[in-house]
Amino acid sequence: MNGPPAGHTTGGTRDDPEHRWVVTMPKRPDEWPPGRPDHGSAAAPLSDRGVQRLVVGRLTEHAHTALADIRVEVQNRVVILEGTVRSAPVRLLAHQLAWNTTGVFDVSNRLAVAGEETPRNDLAP
């Protein structure tokens, strides 16, 4: 890959050996990139419970997140992920699976990585 995917920027510098991708999606639906899935509409908005079911379904269907200790709460279409996962890539994967679920407006990723002293706040690495 020559550069970050559309809608992403790099989180490190040339001197940073752990050059990571950081999600930088716009907040307003009219600014979402063309490839972004439909995230609900005014005509038929999903309830928080409906969004929660969809997110939990996506997390349980993926091999890397199915057995992880992830709790999902939804408030006003904002998904809150809490619990512990085994690695930073699994933490990022959970964030991306939630973010790309129909009806989700934003994701607060409060997942801790096993072995880290303190949980990281909000956005994935």
pLDDT digits (tens, 9 = 90+) for 17-71: 444 444 444 445 555 444 445 554 444 578 999 999 999 999 999 999 998 999 9
Same domain, 95 and 54: yes
The answer to whether position 39 is within a domain reads no
Same domain, 14 and 49: no
The answer to whether position 26 is within a domain reads yes
Reduced to 3 states (helix: H, G, I; strand: E, B; else coil), residue 52 is helix
The answer to whether position 40 is within a domain reads no
Going from the C-alpha of 50 to that of each of 72, 79, 95, 99, 121, the distances in angstroms are 12, 12, 18, 15, 25
> What CATH number does the domain containing 112 carry?
3.30.1340
pLDDT score for 116: 80
The answer to whether position 17 is within a domain reads yes
Q: Whole-prediction pTM value?
A: 0.61
Same domain, 29 and 49: no
Query: Which of 97, 117, 100, 83 is closest to 39 using CA atoms?
Result: 100
- The domain of 3 spans 1-33
Residue type, 80: I
Query: Which of 102, 100, 88 is closest to 8 using CA atoms?
Result: 100
Token pair of 94, please? 């959970």
Going from the C-alpha of 107 to that of each of 83, 94, 98, the distances in angstroms are 14, 10, 7
Tracing tokens 């920027």 back to the chain, one arrives at 9
Same domain, 23 and 53: no
